[in-house]
């Protein structure tokens, strides 16, 4: 039986931290769906199509990784995909409260749907998409904190 995990998020944009978590997930899952939420409460910098496109490039060459968009509830998407595992990253204690609530709500909505929390590599613990967007907006050097295709997309977005 294929062990399928869902790694949901906004991915606005995908960072090296997200890539690290997908790699770590493949240590216990046969297949990972990187699930892009199309209706985040925040107004995204990249459209859903742009985020999917970037993810497709970043995970090209990783046959065990699927990239998909979803709208509505994550729990319903997981049920439709026949997945019983959600992967989320925990970078710091400050992430915990929201993540804990989401995990419990998702299990309430879809009994049997479990969430596992992974810690990223130490070098990625301070990374977030929002920080990446901010640094890019003001012309800061991103180095290898994002895939080159993401860096180029950010440069295009903020080109004046
Ligand atoms: O990368 P993010 O922004 O932290 O991801 C949050 C996300 C998209 C995973 C979360 O907002 C979500 O699951 N949204 C889908 C709607 C939903 O199911 N909401 C109830 C969560 S318990």
Supply the pTM of this predicted model. 0.97
Over the stretch 35-85, which tens digit does the pLDDT of each residue have? 999 976 779 999 999 999 999 999 999 999 999 999 999 999 999 999 999
Over the stretch 73-101, which tens digit does the pLDDT of each residue have? 999 999 999 999 999 999 999 999 999 99
What is the structure's pLDDT at 156? Answer: 96
Closest atom of ligand 1 to CA, residue 101: 22
Task: Verify whether ligand 1 is closer than 6 Å to residue 17 (CB atom).
Answer: no
From the candidates 91, 107, 133, 157, which is the catalytic residue? 91
Active site residue 42: yes
Q: What is the DSSP letter of 39?
A: S
Task: Verify whether ligand 1 is closer than 6 Å to residue 35 (CB atom).
Answer: no
Task: Verify whether ligand 1 is closer than 6 Å to residue 105 (CB atom).
Answer: yes
Residues ≥6 apart with Cβ < 8 Å to 12: 40, 42, 44, 45, 46, 51, 129, 133
Residues ≥6 apart with Cβ < 8 Å to 154: 13, 132, 133, 136, 142, 146
What is the structure's pLDDT at 42? Answer: 79
CB 128, CB 11: distance < 8 Å: no
């Amino acid at each position: 039986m294929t062990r399928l995990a869902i790694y949901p998020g906004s991915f606005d944009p995908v960072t090296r931290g997200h890539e690290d978590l997908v790699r770590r997930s493949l240590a216990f899952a046969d297949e990972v769906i990187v699930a892009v939420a199309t209706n985040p409460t925040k107004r995204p910098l990249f459209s859903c199509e742009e985020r999917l496109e970037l993810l497709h490039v970043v995970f090209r060459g990783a046959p065990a990784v699927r990239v998909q968009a979803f709208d509505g509830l994550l729990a319903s998407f997981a049920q439709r995909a026949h997945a019983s595992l959600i992967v989320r990253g925990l970078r710091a204690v400050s992430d915990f409260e929201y993540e804990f609530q989401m995990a419990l709500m998702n299990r309430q909505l879809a009994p049997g749907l479990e969430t596992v929390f992974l810690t990223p590599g130490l070098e990625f613990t301070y990374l977030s998409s929002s920080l990446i967007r901010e640094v890019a907006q003001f012309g800061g050097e991103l180095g290898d904190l994002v895939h080159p295709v993401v860096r180029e997309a950010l440069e295009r977005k903020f080109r004046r």
